[in-house]
Amino acid sequence: MTDISRRGFVKGATAAIATGVGVGLSNGGINFLYPKEAFANEDSPIEKKYSYCDMCNHVPKCGIIASVRENKIVRVESRDKYPSTPLCAKGIASLQELYDPHRLTVPMIRTNTKDASAAEWKQISWDEAYATIAEKLNGVKQRHGADAVLFFCGDPKEPRGAMQRLATLFGSSSYGTESSVCAAASWMCAQMVFGQNSMGENPSDKSASCLVWSLNAAWSQPNRYGVLYRQKERGCKFVVVDPRITPTVTGLADIHLQLRPGSDGALAAGFINQLIVQDLIDKDFVETWTHGFEELKTYVASFTPEKVEEITWVEAAKLVEAARLIGENKPGTLLTSSKGGCHTTNVGHFQRAVFMIPALLGNLDVPGGLPLGPGLPFDYAASTKAFQLEDVYEAEGFQQRRHDREDFPVWAKYYKMMQTVKLPEYVEQGKIRAGVLLGVNSMMWPNTPLYKKAIRDLEFSVAIDYYLRPVTHDLVDMVLPAAMCYERSAAFAIFGRKIFLREPVVTPAGEAREDWRIILEIGTALGYGEQCFNGNVDAALEELLATTRLGITLADLRANPQGFEVPGGNKDPKKYEAGGLRPDKQPGFNTPTGKVELKSRVLEDLGFEGLPVYEEPLHGPLSADFKDYPLILNTGSRLPYYTHSKLRDLPWLNQFMPEPVVRLSPQDAHARGLNQGDAARVFNHQGEVTMKVEITNMVLPGVVDIFHGWQQADINLLTTRDFDPISGFPPFSNGLCEVAKV
C-alpha cells in the first residue's frame, strides 16, 4: 500500500520513467517522457490488429490498424476500405495518450478532507474500492432514496448503456450524460418537427445542395469533412452559416452567412420567409404533410432581408441569394451541430426552424435529401432500450420521480436521462447526495464554481477516468482508473448498417479496467450480480446483441472483422406516404398530428409557443449590460487538436495551441490597444480569465471567440446560467464580455 499525494503521484511517475528507456519531449512547459513500458524490442515480431479511434467524439469513428509488438502498439494507421478518411492529428497522437506517463493506473481514495486545497490520495485495491462504493451508495439509498444517487456518463459515451442499466437496477431516476449540454437539444428539435432524432445528413451523390448550419466539420469532425469535401468537388452547392470564417467555410461555402452569434433564430425565420417569397417551397408537400404552415408564413413575413440584416448582421442580398441557391438546387440536405445549433437561449425554437427548411423544400426522405425511417436497433452509444431496462424504467414510474421534470418538462418528455444543468440546485436541496461519475468534468457547465461546489458537497462520489484531473477530482472521494480506446472491449462500432466488434488490442495500463467492466462490477458489489453479469463484459455484450433481435452473437462478429451487414432497412423514398415512419404503420410522420409540425403540438400542450419564435439573447447587444461588456462571447466550439478539455498535454497536439487564446478582430484589438500575443483580461460581471491575444479576421468585429476547457483560464467562469426553457441548454454561443490589456 502506498500513500500518494497528487504532487507525489506525478513526481513519482516522472521519476520512475526517467530511470527507464524514456524519450523526453518538452513543449509549452510539458515534460513528457514515454514510460519504459511504451517501448518494445525492435526485433520482436509485429502483429496487425483492428481497432478504432474514438478521440474526437468518444464513440468509435475511424478504423485503425494497430501494429502490436510485445503487447505494445508501435504504430497506428488508417484502416483500408473502412468508412473514414485518413487519421487526423488526434488519431495519430492517440499513442501519446495511450502511453502518457500521467495516466491513472490504480484505484485511489482520498485521505484528507475536501476543505484542503488539493486532494491527497492513497492507493487501494479494486475490492476495497467496490466495497466502499457499495457501502456508501446503499447508505445514501437507505437514508434518502435511490434517486439521491446520480449515475453520470460523460466522456466516453460508450458506457452509457451499462451506466443506465445500473442506475435502473439501483432504482435511481437520476441518470445523466454530457449530452445535456452537447447535442441532444438538436435531436429533440428534429423529433418535434418530423418525429425522428437528427443532426442532418451528409450529402450523397444525388444531393445538389447542402445547408450547413454552424458545423465546422474540418475541426470538429475531420472524418466527416473529407466526405463533404468530395461532394463539393463533385458539384454539390454549399451554404454555410457560421459566425466565424472557419476552414469549413473557406473549403466548402458557395455562400457564407456570417451571423451575429445567438441571432440564428432570426436568420432561420428570414431564410424560411425567402423560400416562401421566392416561391421555392414544395407546395404539394406543404399542403399535404405539414401542420401550421399558414401561421408560420404569417410569423416569418416580418423577417424581411433588411430586418434580418439589422438583427443578424448578415447582408440582406446574401440571405436572398442563399435561400435561392438551396431552394433551386434540389434535392438538398442539411447538417447542423451541437455548437451553434444548441448553445443559445433560443435553441428550442430556432433549431426547429432550421429543420423545417428541408421539409418546406420537399427534401425529406427523398434520395439526396434528408433520409428518415427505421435505423438500426442501437442508440447513439450502441446500446438498446431493452439492455438499458427502459421497460423497468417505465413500469416502475421513474419518470414521475425525476428531479428535472418540473424544470424542463419538454426535455423530460423526450429523454430518459436527466437534464443535469441544475445539479447545483439539486445538491443544495438535498435531492442528489452521491454520484458515480464517469468521465465528468466540473468545467463543462456554465458558471463552473457552482458545479464544483455541487460535486464537492456530495456525501460520496467516485470518478472513473484515464487521468487524475485535479480540477474535478480534487472534489471527489475516490478515483478509479479506466482503460483507454485500444485497451477496452465496449459496445460496438457502427457505420451505416454495419456493426463491428470492438475488442482490446493491448492489455490496459497498470490496474486500469474497462469502463463497462467497472460499471458492471460496481453493480455486482451493489447486489445486482446476476443482472450485471458478475462483471463479465463479454456476457453483457452478448446480452446486448440478443436484445437487438438481429440473431447475431459475439462469435459472429469476431469471425467477421470486416463487419456484419445488418439486413433490411427500408431505403424506399417517401416512407411517410406508405406508413413507414410511424409505429402504428399509418401514413405520416411520428408526431402528434402525424405531420411535419411547423407549429409544435407538444410545445403547446406543455405551455410553450408552438411556432419557432425568435427571442433575443438575454445578454446581447440589446441588453442593459451591453454598455459595460460590449463584446459578444462565443465559446464551446471544437479545435482540430483537442477534444474539449482533453488531449492538451500531448506534445504532438499541444504545439498547435500551447496556451489559451482570445481571438478578436483587428478593429476590436486596435480599439483596445491590444497587439498580437499580448496578455489580456477577458471579463464580465461574473468572472475573469487571462489569455493571450490572437488578432484574426476569423471573427466578426464585436465578437470574441474563445476555446473552452483550459483549467488555467476556464471560460465557463464567464458563461451564464440562462437556460433555454425548452431544452435546458446554456448560452455558450451568446454571452457578453470585455477584453483589456493586462
Contacts with ligand SF4, residue ranges (CB under 6 A): 53, 55-56, 61-62, 84, 87-88, 90-91, 222-223
In degrees, rounded to 5, the angle at the alpha carbon of residue 431 between the alpha carbons of residues 430 and 434 is 85
| Nearer to ligand SF4 among residue 55 and residue 484 (C-beta) | 55
| Residue in this structure with the C-alpha cell 495500463, named with its chain if needed | 509
Burial class of residue 543 (count of CB atoms within 10 Å of its CB; 0-12, 13-18, 19+): middle
Q: Cell digits for 697? A: 479576421
Cβ proximity to ligand SF4, 166 vs 335, nearer residue: 335
Kindly state the smallest distance separating residue 242's Cβ from ligand SF4, in Å. Answer: 20
- Nearest distance, CB of residue 75 and ligand SF4, angstroms: 14
Work out how close the CB of 219 gets to ligand SF4 at its nearest, in angstroms, rounded to a whole number: 10
Beta carbon of residue 218, minimum distance to ligand SF4 (angstroms, whole number): 11
Q: Which residues contact 442 (CB under 8 A, 6 or more apart)?
A: 448, 451, 452, 455, 471, 472, 475
**Residue 19 CB burial class (10 angstroms; 0-12, 13-18, ≥19):** exposed
Closest CA to 63 of 53, 48, 49, 75: 53
CB of 158 to ligand SF4, least distance (A): 13
Distance (Å, whole) CA 671 – CA 675: 11
Q: Which is nearer to ligand SF4, 452 or 646 (CB)?
A: 646
Neighbouring CB atoms inside 10 A of 519's CB total 29
CB of 731 to ligand SF4, least distance (A): 27
Measured in whole angstroms, the distance separating CA 730 from the mean position of its chain's CA atoms is 14
Nearest residue by C-beta to ligand SF4? 91
CB of 84 to ligand SF4, least distance (A): 6
CA–CA gap between residue 136 and residue 124 (Å, rounded): 16
Q: Cβ of residue 503: shortest distance to ligand SF4, in angstroms?
A: 17
Helix%, strand%, coil% for the chain, nearest 5: 35, 20, 45
Residue among 172, 116, 666 nearest 396 (CA) = 172
Give the residue with the Cβ less far from ligand SF4, 39 or 495: 495
Q: Which of 620, 557, 594, 13 is nearest to 259 (CA)?
A: 620
Residue 641 beta carbon to ligand SF4: minimum distance, rounded to whole angstroms: 10
Amino acid, single-letter form, for residue 491: A
Q: What is each CA distance from 735 to 157, 298, 412, 616, in whole angstroms?
A: 28, 30, 26, 12
Query: Taking the CB of residue 351, how many other CB atoms lie within 10 A of it?
Result: 34
Q: How far is residue 724's CA from residue 735's CA, in Å, rounded to a whole number?
A: 13
CB of 452 to ligand SF4, least distance (A): 29
Query: What are the cell numbers at 620?
Result: 446581447
Of 8, 178, 156, the residue nearest 730 (C-alpha): 178
User: Whose Cβ is closer to ligand SF4: residue 602's or residue 657's?
Assistant: 657
Give the dihedral sign, CA 573/574/575/578. Answer: negative
Specify the residue, 223 or 383, whose C-beta has the smaller distance to ligand SF4: 223
Q: How far is the CB of 225 from ligand SF4 (least distance, A)?
A: 9
The dihedral through the CA atoms of 586, 589, 591, 593 has a sign that is: negative
- In the chain, the amino acid numbered 466 is Y
C-beta of 91 vs 203, nearer to ligand SF4: 91
Q: Which is nearer to ligand SF4, 136 or 224 (CB)?
A: 224
* Closer Cβ to ligand SF4, 59 or 361, answer by number: 59
Which residue, 51 or 172, is less far from ligand SF4 as judged by CB?
51
From residue 697, how far is each of 212, 520, 666, 735 by CA, in Å?
21, 50, 7, 20
Q: With respect to ligand SF4, which residue has the nearer C-beta, 251 or 587?
A: 251
Residue 207 vs 643, nearer CB to ligand SF4: 643
- Give least dist CB 69 to ligand SF4, A: 21
